[in-house]
């Protein structure tokens, strides 16, 4: 089924409750506009164009596939190196597809920037058996850009994916991130860090599917919201029938920095196996006044005190990662962002 034959998903659908499809569409829901290409540049790696063969049933993925844009495939046979990919979105509507095939061990950092009115990015990846990938996604788009992001990951036997998101750009962002643990011993550690300012709206939907036993997942999401910003995180941990000895956990934490800021945290578990470990948690709260008082009593201004607390809170989202290079790169970008905001 092509895009214009698909029905607009209702807001009763869990995925589209907080950011309905008409709100994230670049024009009108019935239209399929032609998109310019996101410009990808790869450090010391040669990427090839590719054409996706499988057809999705999800409206967002079908829309991104049929609207055009750029398509690149990167095959990495890694020995521990770090790969930086810079993606720049320009023009009215820009779309890009990136497919990663990873063998061995590598860290990949995707830096997304640009002043496009609307940006759509679809990332697909296969982490091959006994391979290990650290993947960082850094959203530093223009504050006026609307963004749709989809990710689809397959993690094979005894392979691991560590995925980190830093979301500080764009004004209306929708992310739909999905991962399948496709073999015994597969694991994923995932962290999401978001900073909401002004009227920024940032919606993350995350699904992790344990399709085999003896698999592991850990999801941590931390968001700090100021102004009238709104952050949404919905997480589904699904453990299939027969996937015994799976270990899955997710936690969402939100820091509310103003009276008008809002945050939604909706963790979900779908467990069809008997012998598993599964846990979830969520919390939203303002800054503890005693923490502000402690820092101000040592000579910091109220602004500096709040910035230090926010910095520590957001950095903590990366604490579940084991990849040192990925953690350091993400923390550095976050610190640079917060320092720039403090100077404004």
pLDDT tens, residue order, the chain (344 aa) = 899 999 999 998 889 999 999 999 999 999 999 999 999 998 766 677 777 666 788 999 999 999 999 999 999 998 889 999 999 999 999 999 999 999 999 999 999 999 999 999 999 999 999 999 999 999 999 999 999 999 999 999 999 999 999 999 999 999 999 999 999 999 999 999 999 999 999 999 999 999 999 999 999 999 999 999 999 999 999 999 999 999 999 999 999 999 999 999 998 999 999 999 999 999 999 998 898 888 998 888 888 888 889 999 999 999 999 999 999 999 999 999 988 877 76
Angstrom distance (rounded) from CA 198 to CA 204 = 18
Are 49 and 73 within 8 A, CB to CB? yes
Confidence (pTM): 0.95
DSSP 9: P
Q: What are phi and psi of 240, to 5 degrees?
A: -75, 160
What's residue 161's pLDDT? 98
Percent composition of the chain: helix, strand, coil (DSSP 3-state, to 5) = 20, 50, 35
What's residue 14's pLDDT? 84
Cα first-last separation, the chain: 48
What's residue 46's pLDDT? 67
Angstrom distance (rounded) from CA 252 to CA 126 = 27
Kind of pairing, strands 93-114 and 70-89?
A: parallel
What's residue 53's pLDDT? 61
Half-sphere exposure of 201 (CA within 13 A, CB side): 12
Exposed, middle or buried, 127 (CB in 10 Å: 0-12/13-18/19+)? buried
What's residue 47's pLDDT? 72
Q: Of 65, 71, 194, 185, which is closest to residue 132 (Cα–Cα)?
A: 185
How many residues would you count in the chain?
344
Are 152 and 170 within 8 A, CB to CB? no
Angstrom distance (rounded) from CA 145 to CA 123 = 19
Half-sphere exposure of 4 (CA within 13 A, CB side): 7
DSSP 313: H
């Amino acid at each position: 089924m092509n895009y214009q034959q698909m029905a607009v998903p209702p807001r009763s659908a869990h995925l589209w409750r907080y950011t309905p499809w008409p709100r994230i569409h670049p024009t009108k829901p019935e239209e399929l506009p032609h998109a310019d290409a996101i410009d990808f540049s790869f450090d010391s790696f040669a990427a090839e164009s590719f054409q996706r063969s499988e057809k999705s049933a999800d409206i967002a993925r079908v829309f991104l596939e049929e609207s055009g844009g750029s398509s690149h495939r990167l095959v990495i046979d890694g020995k521990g190196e770090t790969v930086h990919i810079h993606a720049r979105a320009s023009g009215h509507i820009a779309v890009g597809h990136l497919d990663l095939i990873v063998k061995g061990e590598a860290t990949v950092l995707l830096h997304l920037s640009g002043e496009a009115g609307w940006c759509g990015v679809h990332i697909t990846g296969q982490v091959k058996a006994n391979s290990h990938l650290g993947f960082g996604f850094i959203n530093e788009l223009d504050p006026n850009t609307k963004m749709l992001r989809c990710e689809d990951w397959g993690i094979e036997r005894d392979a691991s994916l560590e995925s980190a998101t830093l979301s500080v750009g764009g004004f209306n962002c929708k992310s739909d991130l999905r991962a399948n643990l496709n073999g015994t011993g597969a694991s994923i550690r995932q962290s999401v860090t978001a900073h909401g300012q002004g009227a920024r709206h940032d919606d993350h939907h995350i699904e992790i599917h344990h399709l085999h036993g003896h698999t592991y997942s850990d999801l941590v999401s931390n968001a700090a919201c100021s102004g009238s910003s709104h952050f949404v995180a919905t997480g589904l941990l699904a453990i299939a029938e027969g996937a015994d000895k799976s270990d899955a956990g997710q936690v969402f934490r939100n820091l509310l920095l103003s009276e008008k800021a809002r945050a939604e945290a909706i963790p979900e578990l779908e467990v069809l196996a008997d012998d598993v470990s599964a846990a979830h948690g969520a919390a939203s709260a303002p800054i503890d006044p005693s923490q502000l008082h402690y820092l101000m009593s040592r000579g910091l201004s109220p602004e500096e005190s709040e910035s230090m607390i926010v910095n520590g809170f957001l950095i903590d989202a990366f604490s579940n990662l084991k990849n040192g290079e990925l953690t350091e790169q993400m923390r550095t970008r976050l610190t640079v962002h917060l320092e720039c905001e403090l100077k404004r």
